[in-house]
Amino acid sequence: MKQFLLQFFTWWNGQTLGTRFWTWRYGEFVGDDEFGNRYYSQKKGTRRWVVYNGVAEPSTIPPGWHGWMHHRVDTPPPRETYAARDWQKPHQPNHTGSAYAYRPKGSILGVPTRPKSDGEYDAWQPK
Protein backbone atom coordinates (compact mmCIF):
# COMPACT_ATOMS: atom_id res chain seq x y z
CA MET A 1 0.00 0.00 0.00
CA LYS A 2 2.85 2.36 0.84
CA GLN A 3 4.52 1.69 -2.52
CA PHE A 4 1.24 2.40 -4.34
CA LEU A 5 0.81 5.72 -2.52
CA LEU A 6 4.42 6.70 -3.23
CA GLN A 7 3.93 5.98 -6.94
CA PHE A 8 0.66 7.88 -6.96
CA PHE A 9 1.76 11.04 -5.13
CA THR A 10 5.51 11.42 -5.69
CA TRP A 11 7.45 11.89 -8.91
CA TRP A 12 10.94 12.02 -7.36
CA ASN A 13 10.89 8.51 -5.89
CA GLY A 14 11.19 6.07 -8.79
CA GLN A 15 8.34 6.05 -11.28
CA THR A 16 4.78 7.28 -11.00
CA LEU A 17 1.73 5.27 -12.01
CA GLY A 18 1.53 7.26 -15.24
CA THR A 19 5.13 6.41 -16.11
CA ARG A 20 4.54 2.78 -15.20
CA PHE A 21 1.52 2.62 -17.50
CA TRP A 22 3.35 4.43 -20.34
CA THR A 23 6.32 2.07 -19.98
CA TRP A 24 4.07 -0.99 -19.99
CA ARG A 25 2.11 0.24 -23.00
CA TYR A 26 4.76 1.81 -25.22
CA GLY A 27 8.16 1.02 -23.74
CA GLU A 28 10.80 -1.44 -24.78
CA PHE A 29 13.46 -2.31 -22.19
CA VAL A 30 16.94 -1.44 -23.49
CA GLY A 31 19.17 -2.08 -20.49
CA ASP A 32 20.23 -0.99 -17.04
CA ASP A 33 23.36 0.50 -15.50
CA GLU A 34 25.49 -0.17 -12.43
CA PHE A 35 23.32 2.17 -10.31
CA GLY A 36 20.15 0.15 -11.00
CA ASN A 37 18.58 2.70 -13.36
CA ARG A 38 16.50 1.10 -16.13
CA TYR A 39 16.42 2.55 -19.66
CA TYR A 40 13.56 2.32 -22.13
CA SER A 41 12.81 3.46 -25.66
CA GLN A 42 9.51 3.83 -27.44
CA LYS A 43 8.61 0.80 -29.56
CA LYS A 44 7.56 2.94 -32.51
CA GLY A 45 9.34 6.25 -32.23
CA THR A 46 12.40 8.02 -30.94
CA ARG A 47 11.42 8.77 -27.35
CA ARG A 48 13.81 7.50 -24.65
CA TRP A 49 13.48 7.61 -20.87
CA VAL A 50 14.95 6.32 -17.66
CA VAL A 51 13.31 4.91 -14.54
CA TYR A 52 15.61 5.80 -11.67
CA ASN A 53 16.45 3.40 -8.89
CA GLY A 54 15.26 5.36 -5.87
CA VAL A 55 15.43 9.15 -5.90
CA ALA A 56 15.32 10.77 -9.35
CA GLU A 57 18.85 12.14 -9.61
CA PRO A 58 19.97 12.80 -13.21
CA SER A 59 23.65 12.90 -12.26
CA THR A 60 23.52 9.14 -11.60
CA ILE A 61 23.30 8.49 -15.35
CA PRO A 62 26.74 7.27 -16.55
CA PRO A 63 28.34 8.92 -19.62
CA GLY A 64 27.52 6.11 -22.06
CA TRP A 65 23.86 6.14 -21.16
CA HIS A 66 23.81 9.94 -21.15
CA GLY A 67 24.95 9.96 -24.77
CA TRP A 68 22.25 7.46 -25.72
CA MET A 69 19.53 9.35 -23.81
CA HIS A 70 20.35 12.60 -25.63
CA HIS A 71 20.52 10.96 -29.09
CA ARG A 72 24.26 11.55 -29.48
CA VAL A 73 24.73 7.87 -30.22
CA ASP A 74 22.22 5.39 -31.60
CA THR A 75 23.67 2.28 -30.00
CA PRO A 76 22.97 1.81 -26.28
CA PRO A 77 25.93 0.77 -24.09
CA PRO A 78 24.91 -2.92 -23.69
CA ARG A 79 25.04 -3.41 -27.47
CA GLU A 80 28.49 -1.93 -28.02
CA THR A 81 31.93 -3.26 -27.15
CA TYR A 82 33.31 -0.27 -25.30
CA ALA A 83 35.94 -0.87 -22.65
CA ALA A 84 37.00 1.96 -20.34
CA ARG A 85 40.65 2.96 -20.49
CA ASP A 86 42.82 2.38 -17.43
CA TRP A 87 43.19 6.13 -16.78
CA GLN A 88 39.44 6.73 -16.69
CA LYS A 89 37.79 7.00 -13.30
CA PRO A 90 34.44 5.32 -12.62
CA HIS A 91 31.40 7.57 -12.84
CA GLN A 92 30.21 9.19 -9.62
CA PRO A 93 26.99 11.12 -9.13
CA ASN A 94 27.00 14.76 -8.05
CA HIS A 95 27.91 14.97 -4.35
CA THR A 96 26.88 18.59 -3.79
CA GLY A 97 25.24 18.99 -0.41
CA SER A 98 26.57 15.72 0.97
CA ALA A 99 29.53 14.80 3.16
CA TYR A 100 31.44 13.74 0.03
CA ALA A 101 31.22 17.17 -1.64
CA TYR A 102 34.42 18.86 -2.75
CA ARG A 103 35.51 21.58 -0.36
CA PRO A 104 38.47 23.59 -1.62
CA LYS A 105 41.21 25.01 0.55
CA GLY A 106 39.94 28.06 2.38
CA SER A 107 36.29 27.03 2.33
CA ILE A 108 34.40 27.56 5.57
CA LEU A 109 33.11 24.01 5.22
CA GLY A 110 36.57 22.59 4.50
CA VAL A 111 39.17 21.98 7.18
CA PRO A 112 37.63 22.68 10.60
CA THR A 113 40.76 24.32 12.01
CA ARG A 114 42.44 27.44 10.70
CA PRO A 115 46.05 26.99 9.57
CA LYS A 116 48.75 28.57 11.73
CA SER A 117 49.98 32.01 10.78
CA ASP A 118 53.58 32.32 9.68
CA GLY A 119 54.08 35.62 11.58
CA GLU A 120 54.48 37.90 8.56
CA TYR A 121 51.05 39.42 8.92
CA ASP A 122 50.51 42.47 11.17
CA ALA A 123 46.90 43.16 12.03
CA TRP A 124 45.68 46.72 11.63
CA GLN A 125 45.19 48.57 14.91
CA PRO A 126 43.15 51.78 15.17
CA LYS A 127 44.95 54.81 16.67
SS3 content of the chain, % helix, strand, coil (to 5): 25, 15, 60
pLDDT, one tens digit per residue, over 56-105 is 888 889 888 999 999 999 999 999 887 778 998 888 888 888 888 888 87
The pLDDT value given to residue 112: 66
Question: Tens of pLDDT along 10-65?
Answer: 666 677 777 888 889 999 999 999 889 999 999 888 899 999 888 888 888 988 89
Q: What is the pTM of this model?
A: 0.69
Tell me the HSE value of 9 on the side-chain side, using a 13 A CA sphere: 6
What pLDDT shows up at residue 106?
A: 75
How many Å separate Cα 119 from the centre of its chain?
A: 45
